[in-house]
Structure 1
Amino acid sequence: MATTDDPFDGITERCDDCGLETLHEVSVQIRTESLKNENAEFSREPYRVAECQRCGNRTSQRMNNA
């Protein structure tokens, strides 16, 4: 595994609450969308979650909108 001296701290993108380009912590979460237990295993979807490191505003977007 390669290492660098530059730590990756996040992604810079626009924050609608701040109105500025700010550093965001971005991750992917798998969420269960079905409320029924018998179908829960078939209703998991990936979501992109971004949290502004300046104001704490958190947004999520479903990645599979088929």
Structure 2
Amino acid sequence: MATTDNSLNGMTEPCDACGTDTLHEVSVQIMTEAEDSDNAHYSREPYRVRECQRCGERTSQRMNNA
């Protein structure tokens, strides 16, 4: 579970690469899933993107599982 650490002004989450809870930069980004398709502008989905501020590991997770 993510927690807010007010002293660091960020999100502390478990990092698979570091193996500990570390400070992460978390954002929501709209990504195109089928760029080569004629309908690419219809295939944009929100993703939760997080980057470990310690090791730089970056992961993304689709927010809509339709």
CA separation in 1, counterparts of 2:62 and 2:8? Answer: 24
Match of 1:58 in 2: 58
Counterpart amino acid of residue 27 in structure 2: S
TM-score (ref. length: structure 2) = 0.82
What is the number of residues matched between the two proteins? 60
TM-score (ref. length: structure 1) = 0.82
Deviation at 1:7, TM superposition (A): 7.3
* Unaligned residue ranges in structure 2 (runs of 5+): 1-5
Q: Does the C-alpha gap of structure 1 residues 7 and 19 become closer, same or farther in structure 2, counting only changes over 3 Å?
A: closer
1:20 counterpart = 2:20:
yes
Matched-pair contact (CA < 8 Å) for 1:22–1:54? yes
- Structure (1/2) with the larger helix percentage: 1
Q: Which runs of 4+ in 1 moved over 3 A?
A: none
CA separation in 1, counterparts of 2:7 and 2:51? Answer: 18
RMSD: 1.6
* Unaligned residue ranges in structure 1 (runs of 5+): 1-5
Identity of aligned residues (%): 70
Bigger Rg, structure 1 or 2? 1
Deviation at 1:51, TM superposition (A): 0.2
